[in-house]
Protein backbone atom coordinates (compact mmCIF):
# COMPACT_ATOMS: atom_id res chain seq x y z
CA UNK A 1 0.00 0.00 0.00
CA UNK A 2 1.43 3.37 -1.03
CA UNK A 3 1.44 6.45 1.20
CA UNK A 4 -1.25 8.10 -0.90
CA UNK A 5 -3.42 4.97 -0.55
CA UNK A 6 -2.91 5.08 3.22
CA UNK A 7 -3.92 8.74 3.21
CA UNK A 8 -7.03 7.87 1.21
CA UNK A 9 -7.88 5.10 3.69
CA UNK A 10 -7.45 7.52 6.62
CA UNK A 11 -9.57 10.14 4.92
CA UNK A 12 -12.28 7.59 4.14
CA UNK A 13 -12.67 6.42 7.75
CA UNK A 14 -16.00 7.16 9.38
CA UNK A 15 -14.49 9.78 11.66
CA UNK A 16 -12.56 11.42 8.81
CA UNK A 17 -15.69 11.69 6.71
CA UNK A 18 -17.83 12.93 9.60
CA UNK A 19 -15.29 15.58 10.56
CA UNK A 20 -14.89 16.78 6.99
CA UNK A 21 -18.62 16.95 6.33
CA UNK A 22 -19.64 18.50 9.62
CA UNK A 23 -20.97 22.03 9.47
CA UNK A 24 -19.65 22.83 12.97
CA UNK A 25 -16.90 20.40 13.94
CA UNK A 26 -14.43 21.15 11.14
CA UNK A 27 -14.48 24.94 11.69
CA UNK A 28 -14.21 24.44 15.46
CA UNK A 29 -11.22 22.13 14.96
CA UNK A 30 -9.55 24.58 12.62
CA UNK A 31 -10.22 27.54 14.92
CA UNK A 32 -8.92 25.65 17.93
CA UNK A 33 -5.83 24.64 15.95
CA UNK A 34 -5.12 28.27 15.06
CA UNK A 35 -5.74 29.54 18.59
CA UNK A 36 -3.47 26.95 20.16
CA UNK A 37 -0.75 27.72 17.60
CA UNK A 38 -0.96 31.25 18.95
CA UNK A 39 -0.64 30.04 22.55
CA UNK A 40 2.16 27.59 21.87
CA UNK A 41 4.24 29.60 19.44
CA UNK A 42 3.55 32.89 21.22
CA UNK A 43 4.95 31.57 24.47
CA UNK A 44 7.86 29.91 22.65
CA UNK A 45 8.56 33.29 21.05
CA UNK A 46 8.93 34.82 24.51
CA UNK A 47 11.39 32.06 25.43
CA UNK A 48 13.30 32.38 22.15
CA UNK A 49 13.52 36.16 22.51
CA UNK A 50 14.95 35.69 26.01
CA UNK A 51 17.47 33.16 24.70
CA UNK A 52 18.41 35.60 21.95
CA UNK A 53 19.05 38.25 24.62
CA UNK A 54 16.35 40.57 23.24
CA UNK A 55 13.55 40.39 25.84
CA UNK A 56 13.30 40.13 29.64
CA UNK A 57 17.07 40.44 29.92
CA UNK A 58 16.83 41.27 33.64
CA UNK A 59 15.05 38.00 34.39
CA UNK A 60 16.72 34.63 34.70
CA UNK A 61 16.28 32.31 31.75
CA UNK A 62 15.01 29.67 34.19
CA UNK A 63 12.29 32.06 35.48
CA UNK A 64 11.08 32.81 31.96
CA UNK A 65 11.09 29.09 31.18
CA UNK A 66 9.03 28.27 34.26
CA UNK A 67 6.55 31.00 33.40
CA UNK A 68 5.94 30.15 29.75
CA UNK A 69 6.60 26.46 29.20
CA UNK A 70 3.44 25.04 30.84
CA UNK A 71 1.28 27.17 28.52
CA UNK A 72 3.46 26.34 25.55
CA UNK A 73 3.24 22.60 26.21
CA UNK A 74 -0.53 22.79 26.69
CA UNK A 75 -0.91 24.74 23.45
CA UNK A 76 1.35 22.33 21.58
CA UNK A 77 -0.55 19.25 22.75
CA UNK A 78 -3.93 20.68 21.72
CA UNK A 79 -2.43 22.02 18.48
CA UNK A 80 -1.00 18.57 17.68
CA UNK A 81 -4.27 16.76 18.40
CA UNK A 82 -6.39 19.17 16.37
CA UNK A 83 -3.80 19.08 13.57
CA UNK A 84 -4.01 15.28 13.49
CA UNK A 85 -7.79 15.48 13.16
CA UNK A 86 -7.49 18.12 10.42
CA UNK A 87 -5.07 15.85 8.58
CA UNK A 88 -7.48 12.94 8.98
CA UNK A 89 -10.22 15.01 7.30
CA UNK A 90 -8.16 15.84 4.22
CA UNK A 91 -5.19 13.47 4.25
CA UNK A 92 -4.89 13.14 0.46
CA UNK A 93 -4.96 16.90 -0.16
CA UNK A 94 -2.57 17.53 2.71
CA UNK A 95 -0.08 14.88 1.66
CA UNK A 96 -0.20 16.11 -1.94
CA UNK A 97 0.58 19.68 -0.86
CA UNK A 98 4.17 20.91 -1.01
CA UNK A 99 3.25 23.37 1.77
CA UNK A 100 2.20 20.50 4.05
CA UNK A 101 5.56 18.83 3.46
CA UNK A 102 7.33 22.12 4.20
CA UNK A 103 5.27 22.54 7.37
CA UNK A 104 6.23 19.06 8.57
CA UNK A 105 9.89 19.71 7.69
CA UNK A 106 9.92 22.99 9.64
CA UNK A 107 8.10 21.29 12.54
CA UNK A 108 10.68 18.49 12.67
CA UNK A 109 13.56 20.98 12.48
CA UNK A 110 12.01 23.08 15.27
CA UNK A 111 11.72 19.94 17.38
CA UNK A 112 15.33 19.02 16.61
CA UNK A 113 16.43 22.54 17.54
CA UNK A 114 14.63 22.25 20.88
CA UNK A 115 16.04 18.76 21.50
CA UNK A 116 19.62 19.84 20.80
CA UNK A 117 19.15 22.83 23.10
CA UNK A 118 17.72 20.65 25.88
CA UNK A 119 20.49 18.06 25.59
CA UNK A 120 23.35 20.56 25.45
CA UNK A 121 22.67 24.09 26.68
CA UNK A 122 19.93 23.39 29.23
CA UNK A 123 22.35 21.34 31.34
CA UNK A 124 24.61 24.38 31.78
CA UNK A 125 21.91 27.04 32.16
CA UNK A 126 23.00 27.65 35.78
CA UNK A 127 26.27 29.05 34.40
CA UNK A 128 24.56 31.77 32.33
CA UNK A 129 21.05 31.96 33.80
CA UNK A 130 21.43 35.59 34.93
CA UNK A 131 23.34 36.86 31.89
CA UNK A 132 21.48 39.52 29.94
CA UNK A 133 22.93 38.05 26.75
CA UNK A 134 23.21 34.25 26.83
CA UNK A 135 26.06 32.35 25.14
CA UNK A 136 26.19 32.21 21.35
CA UNK A 137 24.78 28.65 21.13
CA UNK A 138 21.75 29.62 23.24
CA UNK A 139 21.19 32.73 21.11
CA UNK A 140 21.45 30.62 17.94
CA UNK A 141 18.85 28.23 19.36
CA UNK A 142 16.56 31.18 20.09
CA UNK A 143 16.93 32.74 16.64
CA UNK A 144 16.60 29.32 14.97
CA UNK A 145 13.42 28.61 16.93
CA UNK A 146 11.87 31.89 15.81
CA UNK A 147 12.73 31.28 12.16
CA UNK A 148 11.58 27.66 12.17
CA UNK A 149 8.24 28.36 13.88
CA UNK A 150 7.63 31.23 11.47
CA UNK A 151 8.20 28.67 8.70
CA UNK A 152 5.71 26.25 10.28
CA UNK A 153 3.06 28.96 10.46
CA UNK A 154 3.72 30.37 6.98
CA UNK A 155 3.65 26.94 5.34
CA UNK A 156 0.53 25.93 7.29
CA UNK A 157 -1.40 29.04 6.39
CA UNK A 158 -0.28 28.87 2.76
CA UNK A 159 -1.35 25.23 2.65
CA UNK A 160 -4.80 26.14 3.97
CA UNK A 161 -5.29 28.75 1.25
CA UNK A 162 -4.23 26.36 -1.52
CA UNK A 163 -6.73 23.58 -0.77
One digit per residue, the tens of pLDDT, for the chain of length 163 reads: 999 999 999 999 999 999 999 999 999 999 999 999 999 999 999 999 999 999 999 999 999 999 999 999 999 999 999 999 999 999 999 999 999 999 999 999 999 999 999 999 999 999 999 999 999 999 999 999 999 999 999 999 999 888 7
pLDDT computed for residue 152 by the predictor: 97
Q: Cite the DSSP H helix spans in 52-135.
A: 61-89, 91-96, 98-120, 125-128
pLDDT computed for residue 29 by the predictor: 96
Residues 43, 72 contacting (CB under 8 angstroms) = yes
Q: Is 71 exposed, middle or buried (0-12, 13-18, 19+ CB in 10 A)?
A: middle
Containing structural domain, residue 121: 3-161
**Reduced to 3 states, what is the DSSP secondary structure of residue 138?**
helix
Tally of structural domains, the chain? 1
pLDDT computed for residue 23 by the predictor: 93
pLDDT computed for residue 70 by the predictor: 97
What span, in angstroms and rounded, lies between the C-alpha atoms of 79 and 32? 7
Separation of first and last alpha carbons in the chain: 25
pLDDT computed for residue 63 by the predictor: 97
Amino acid sequence: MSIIEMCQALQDTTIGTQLRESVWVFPILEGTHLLTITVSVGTLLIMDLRLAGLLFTRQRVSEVTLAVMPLSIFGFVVMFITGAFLFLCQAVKAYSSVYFKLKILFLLLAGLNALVFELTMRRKVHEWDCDAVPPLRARLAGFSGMILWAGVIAAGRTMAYNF
